[in-house]
């Protein structure tokens, strides 16, 4: 009987711990954090567009756009522009950008990309 009691106690304990491990809120929290970061970076990209303005972006060369964009980068956010598919600089390591904004500005396509610096 003692053996049965110990087995029951172990079963109860391990079931509870497994349940807590399976239903951990950590995964959902990680997804939420990613979405929050995406929103923050996308808002930052839109702020960048509003700061020098569309007219300035329209007039500027890809190099000027890149310089302006890199000066907008800070310790927590890294920004990059692709003009007609050509990136200004090498993208930071860490895979795809977390957020981007794509638009056509004569004479070509402009993509603004953003990474959280911690990831890069």
Partner 1 sequence: MADRPGVGATAISAVIFAILLLSNFAVYVAAQQRSVLYSQADAEDFLADGGAAIMGAEAANILARAQSFLDSRVFYCANATAAIGGGVRGLTDRHQSGGLNVSVSAGISDVGASADNLTMLSPFDGSVAGELTILLRVTESGGAPTSGITMSRAETHPLHLPVRLEGEERACTGAVQTLESALSSSKVANCTDSQVGPLVESASLGPVSAAAGEGYEIRISYSITQRAPCTAEFEVSVSQPDIDGPSGTFTVQMSDEGSATFASPEG
Shortest reach from residue 10's CB to partner 1, in Å: 10
Query: Site map for partner 1, 10-49, x if CB under 8 A?
Result: --xx-xx--xx--xxx--xx-xx--xx-xx--xx-xx--x
Shortest reach from residue 15's CB to partner 1, in Å: 8
Scan for tokens 């304990």, then name that residue: 13
Please report whether residue 3 would count as binding partner 1 according to CB under 8 A.
no
Site for partner 1 in 45-104 (CB under 8 A): 45-46, 49-50, 53-55, 57-59, 101-104
Contact 65, 83 (CB under 8 A): yes
How many CA atoms within 13 Å lie on the side-chain side of 30? Answer: 4
Contact 78, 92 (CB under 8 A): yes
């Amino acid at each position: 009987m003692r053996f049965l009691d110990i087995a029951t106690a172990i079963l109860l304990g391990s079931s509870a711990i497994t349940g807590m491990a399976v239903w951990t809120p950590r995964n959902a929290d990680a997804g939420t954090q990613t979405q929050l970061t995406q929103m923050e970076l996308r808002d930052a990209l839109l702020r960048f567009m509003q700061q020098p303005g569309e007219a300035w972006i329209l007039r500027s060369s890809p190099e000027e756009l890149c310089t302006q964009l890199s000066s907008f980068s800070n310790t927590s956010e890294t920004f990059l522009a692709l003009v007609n598919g050509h990136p200004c600089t090498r993208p930071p390591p860490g895979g795809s950008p977390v957020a981007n904004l794509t638009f056509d500005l004569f004479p070509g396509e402009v993509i603004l990309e953003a990474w959280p610096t911690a990831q890069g």
